Structure 1
């Protein structure tokens, strides 16, 4: 009797139906059930939250709709129907916001009388860990490439100073091969008169008494030539702080030392003269390092360059006259020093740290020693901003006028040709409303003196007729963006067609319907672009039209043809969804 009583006390209480229901709905891992036809018949909260769908947009749809790779879901369903169990099967799912989720699927099938009834699938989001793995591998690859590709010598050394790894630049500096260096120590490369101090500091670094140090000293190359090098020595240590290996970054500064010595004499003679000049003047050594600048140069650049460090030009950023970035290493001063030819008659644009820009003409002149060797250069920067602004204003006015007239006439012609496909009764109204839409975009641009049009302002103007009391029929979400004039005109027509379609057939034609507009500015490979999502809901059910009307053709032509962008129109049951990508250059 006692044994039976103890046994009853240890038995787990039976799991009742509401416990099972709670387990399914509130489990921390995504779970869904798919029937024999591949349709989702149930999904728990974790599954819906993972992909961002409400139940009504997820349950009842084919599971294949949410898989990025059709062959993957086809294989999953085939294997489940064959009675296989899947464990951590990798797949990619498309979330409601358009993002891609990397997941692992563990699933099994319910088989009755030898027939596949349904499958139950656990979905685990592994996006973060996958991205972390990819980032780690990429970081390791970049680190290895950087080690071998940098133009400075890098050498790893053990506690005694023997080389355990060197890069190609270090081989070039010393003249020894990699195999030869791995049999040597840094003391053997060092000039005998410079060994003691460096060796003592390295011992302090290994022992942890100092973290790092820098030394200028001499190397004796394999060919016997003595060179001047700058060595920056630091340590790699483990989590416990124990020394693992030394990292020595080595620069050959022989030429810099020689140039500095020769330039010092020259600088003394010309400094007084240069300081008195009212225009921007600066000098560099033969390698382009700035050695001197006057106050006028500092005022022009809006900054004080770091002598011996900043290269080629005193300015913060440089641009070509057409607005393209101009690397400092390709500026007229750099080209003069590299080619030995003094450039004249070129223009460039300097940007100050405060964002102000100035157009100028540089006059680089090479400095030579008694032997005719280039030891540096002097540059005079003449500010021609006022003249350029006057020229550009005149050219812009003429070009804009020509472009505006041609573009407007072409747009009106296109609207007329496309609208004439309407019935004679419909033509006047349709033609007039499209001309009015074009006129509104012109008005916005005119108010801004054709410098651009505000995106939010464009939306608010187009949707003003559809305001419905306290609850807005249109919701706008995105940063303030100013579209260039050309983009604003073409995009204004696109917005008009979408709004007109929504008002006649879509979300704005029904009480409670809504249009959600979200946009942002993306930057890919240095190019800015506008990404916009138009989502209608609450209106009549939609389906893909059997023919392409003028509105749709105008949208596609303006976005892809005129603006070089991409457009994706999806006629979903819940309403039209339109995705746009437009370059903003």
Structure 2
């Protein structure tokens, strides 16, 4: 029922109340009811019969009760409201023939002083249906009897219309506030409602288009048999569709979605359509892709690390004469490798600087003594592979310095800085390791595995490598890092 019809019904109710009040006050001698071409005239004159006749032609339920709640007269419409016959209610208490909510409403209207008109609303169950009525009461005197005339106006349809309108507004608000795309379709698959988020799947106004026209979908795991219209059809037939991954090739923004469709059913009514929701899977897909890349990268790094450990073990065994010497040398190199890996893990394998690697590898040899290690201009970031190789080189240099070089005596120190070559070589970044204050340096009589590690660790690229100068005043090593492994260089 529209708002205009509701207003008209209220106007007619007000006129009925005014008429009853005028009759009670003696301002009306007669009533004319019906069309002007065929009127029915009722002589009011204070007689009960005329008043009864007037009540019968009213198109709403009407009842006259005395001050105790006993029914003096009820018209046919009133009997229909109560579901009883006229003979069964005449002279009975209203509470004996009406349901409790209706009887209680009448009692509220009869509370002295009896002034009017007054009204109240009541709802009750009738034949399994919830009905709503507006009760309007006006004091009434019939001969010597003082009572109340009450009209019952059925407003069930108006209440339902208002509830439906409120539900519609609530549904629209819920749909509009949803972060995911929500599209409501009728039984033919035509879109009747769409929220703002639906612009992510259709660039324009989808209202009036079928769902299949607005959002054609591809279901990768359905071998091409399932289409957009199938989603709607299943939901309209009462079968919900939950969490199906789909690709929307024509969507202006995200392309991958999790699609669900549910039947649209209000109360006990038949299914009138369906509600389709589409959740953007872009972030999840990106995360899955990133996770796959990370797993592949991890697999690659683990294999490389295991191969490196195997090589270190084999070459250390080849150059050591005793099991004790092998254990000590091999353990030290694995610890150096682990230290660099710990640094990489702490920095999420990014933004690890040369200085970080130097300080980490030399910490066991220089901690607690200030001035033994001097680091200059080495805040440059390294790639993971360069960091691992540099860590091994620095470990060998530190071990050698501890055994034979500057770190073997209290006054010795090591300086690590950027080395600027006379003839600039733009394909590499050179780090200079220089020892001073230690014993006089003499070249080794045989080449050990440590020298091999120093020379070869960075030779995975043409510009990488290291050169050692056994100068008498202190060992000097210049380490070349390929420029592609230097961030920002």
TM-score tier after normalising by the smaller chain length:
0.3 to 0.5
Q: Normalization by structure 2: what TM-score?
A: 0.38
**Which has the bigger relative contact order, CA under 8 A and spacing at least 6?**
2
Q: Normalization by structure 1: what TM-score?
A: 0.32
